Amino acid sequence: MIDPKHLRNEPEAVAANLARRGYVFDVAAYRALEAQRRELQSVTQALQNERNQRSKAIGAAKQRGEAIEPLKVEVADLGDRLEQAQQRLTEVQQRLEAWQLELPNLLDERVPEGSDEADNLELRQWGGIPVFDFTPRDHVDLGAQLGGMDFEAAARITGSRFVTLSGDLARLHRALIQYMLDLHISEHGYREVYVPYLVNAQALIGTGQLPKFADDLFCIDHDPEWYLAPTAEVPVTNLVQGQIIEEHDMPLRFVSHTPCFRAEAGSYGKDTRGMIRQHQFEKVELVQVVRPHESWNALEALTGHAEAVLRRLGLPYRVVSLCSGDIGFAAARTYDIEVWLPAQQRYREISSCSNFTDFQARRLKARWRNPETGKPELLHTLNGSGVAAGRCLVAILENYQQADGRVAVPEVLVPYMGGRRWLGEGEGS
RNA sequence: GGAGAGGUGGCUGAGCGGUCGAAAGCACCCGACUUGAAAUCGGGUGAGGGCAUGCGCCCUCCGGGGGUUCGAAUCCCUCCCUCUCCGCCA
């Protein structure tokens, strides 16, 4: 949520910022509603004040042993007037709040202008693009040849956009996750957390998935409604929901391995082949909870932590700064890390690292105690994939493939693979 | 699933329907004492919001929602959560 005070004081500035996203904020309509709110609130509070005074007077009179019936008659219609005013105020307040919950975060000024993916700004590349003396196969073909990647079985069990892995591939997938967790815990200072995969609406509102993006979520038939978490960002960031964090505990750095569930509504016909876009995938997520003044540095550090995974795995990648038209709802600034996929001859997103500034914190009522003021103040939240396991598996298969269909195991994963150096030979394949 | 207890400020914990936003303690801040610190003493200290934006005035908040009442932290209904015991169980 955008700071309501800022919204009130400078709606034009907010509108101008949001316009960069292509979001139209109707300042006049907002002003009108806000004026209504102000008027109704003043009236309501005046009535409440009167009620309080009268009630106190009645209480005092009663204690003096005076008759209170005449006093009660005087306030007979006060209750009705108050209730009416309150109802209208509540209605306007709810409309305002609903509106504010649908406003995306303000963009940082460094976010490049643009309308879509094509306008994202490349910041750096790492690793040479591999050259093959044969036509590289994609991960689906490789998986079929290696055995153990079965989309048909998953379709029987559930439907499209699911996969089953078995043997070496299942183990490699698990090895990746273990490796990433170990790296972030032992070298990057994160604390591992285990969290619920089913989350309630309030948690999703807190991080910004609701109310606007309900179509992207799987909802469970349960009262109250529960949703399958689309990313660990939701349960992990909500660890600080409603909390006041002491300064000496900050910054908080959490890493969590979870499955992620996405309805992928609106992506029909997109990436229908293979594991790139699934309803269910595994991810190792990095979340940071920081003091406001350090969040921009934290974004650089967090992105570096995600990059470290790809460097250690020897996977070529680039980092792009998402443009104003492509950046997510809650983010003030986002770096996407894109890994090279030889079969597609292009970079594909494997991590997305964002600074949400105080946008999520305001929705979450997540605060820290600022020692300079002694008061609880909104903190800043960040997160990034570190990294998506499914897509990383794809990248390893495609980048490490050999002419004969075997796949080399990245050096750092060998210990996690029981010493195995090759997929496609020996037991397990 | 069955039975019971409870959810109050940063924490612990009081609170006959009427100056209760809430006692007390802890923690914290300021001051005094002290060479300094500790201890002690005095004072202060919840959050969100509206109007004024000089001081200030006012509203809301005692798990969530609804109700009774002139008036609710206090009574009623309902939902959620926590704890204890029993049952079942990965």
Spatial contact of A394 and A276, defined as CB atoms under 8 Å apart: yes
**Digit-coded pLDDT (tens) for A82-92:** 888 888 998 99
**For A290-303, how does the pLDDT look when each residue is reduced to its tens digit (9 = 90+)?**
999 999 999 999 99
pLDDT band at A265 (very low <50, low <70, confident <90, very high): confident
- Judge whether residue A429 has pLDDT over 80: no
Question: Domain extents for chain A?
Answer: 26-102, 117-423
CA gap A128, A315 in Å, rounded: 9
Identify nearest nucleotide to residue A376 by CA to C1′ distance: B47
Residue A355 clears pLDDT 70, i.e. is over it: yes
| pLDDT for the residue numbered A374 | 81
| Residue A128: per-residue pLDDT | 92
Q: Does the structure show a pLDDT above 70 at A242? A: yes
- Please report, rounded to whole angstroms, the spatial distance between the CA atom of protein residue A220 and the C1' atom of nucleotide B86: 31
Per-residue pLDDT at A427: 58
What angle (nearest 5°) sits at the alpha carbon of residue A171, between those of residues A169 and A173? Answer: 70
**Strand B positions with any atom < 7 Å from protein CB?**
10, 18-19, 28-29, 46-51, 58-60, 70-71, 79-80
Phi-psi region of A110 (alpha: psi -120 to 50; beta: other; left: phi over 0): alpha
Q: Which of A312, A295, A311, A315 is nearest to A384 (CA)?
A: A295
Distance, in Å, from the CA atom of A232 to the CA atom of A21, rounded to the nearest integer, reads: 25
Instruction: Please count the other Cβ atoms lying within 10 Å of the Cβ belonging to residue A80.
Output: 9
H or E stretch covering A176: helix A167-187
CB < 7 A from strand B, the residues are: A 4-5, 8, 38, 41-42, 44-46, 48-49, 51-56, 58-59, 62, 68, 72, 75, 78-79, 223-224, 244, 374-376
Residue A186 is among the residues annotated as catalytic for this protein: no
Structure tokens at A285: 């997520």
* The residue type at A58: I
Q: How confident is the model at residue A224 (pLDDT cuts 50, 70, 90)?
A: confident
Task: State the average pLDDT over residues A355-384.
Answer: 91
β-pair type (A244-245, A367-369): parallel
Q: Which nucleotide is nearest to A223 (CA to C1')?
A: B79
d(CA A122, CA A346): 13
**Nearest DNA or RNA nucleotide to A63 (CA to C1'):** B18
Q: Is the Cβ–Cβ distance between A172 and A423 less than 8 Å?
A: yes
Angle between helices A27-63 and A78-102 (to 10 degrees): 140
Residue A362: what pLDDT?
93
Instruction: Identify the pLDDT of residue A371.
Output: 84
Give the whole-angstrom CA distance, residue A179 versus residue A175.
Answer: 6
Chain segment A374-425, per-residue pLDDT in tens: 888 999 999 999 999 999 999 999 999 999 999 999 999 999 999 999 998 7
Is the bond preceding residue A224 a cis peptide, omega within 30 degrees?
Answer: yes
A117 is catalytic: no
| A53 CA, B56 C1': Å apart | 19
Catalytic residue among A333, A362, A391, A420: A391
Nucleotide nearest to A377 (CA to C1'): B47
Instruction: State the complex-level ipTM.
Output: 0.87
Please pick, among A88, A277, A311, A369, the residue that the annotation labels catalytic.
A277
Residue with tokens 């000496």: A248
pLDDT of residue A200 exceeding 60, the answer is yes
Tell me the average pLDDT across A172-194: 97
For A276, which DSSP code? S
| A224 CA vs B4 C1’ separation (Å) | 26
pLDDT at A61: 87
**Is the model more confident about A425 or about A304?**
A304
A52: which nucleotide lies closest, measuring CA to C1'?
A: B71
* Rounded Cα gap, residues A238 and A356, in angstroms: 14
pLDDT of residue A428 exceeding 80, the answer is: no
A132-178 pLDDT, tens digit per residue, is: 999 999 999 999 999 999 999 999 999 999 999 999 999 999 999 99
Q: Are A260 and A231 in contact (CB under 8 A)?
A: yes
Residue in the structure block whose two tokens are 């008659």: A73
CATH dotted code for A26-102: 1.10.287.40
Average the pLDDT over each of A228-237, A243-252, A297-306 and give the range with the smallest value. Answer: A243-252
Q: What is the mean pLDDT of chain A?
A: 93
What residues are paired with A227 via a beta bridge? Answer: A199, A219
The Å distance, CA of A33 to C1' of B70, is 33
**Å: A358 CA to B65 C1':** 29
A391 flagged as catalytic: yes
- Structure confidence at residue A399 (pLDDT): 97
d(CA A339, CA A126): 10
Report d(CA A171, CA A283) in Å as an integer: 15
Record: fold of A117-423 = BirA Bifunctional Protein; domain 2 (3.30.930)
In this structure, what token pair is assigned to residue A337?
């890390």
Per-residue pLDDT, A83: 87
pLDDT at residue A68 is higher than 90: no
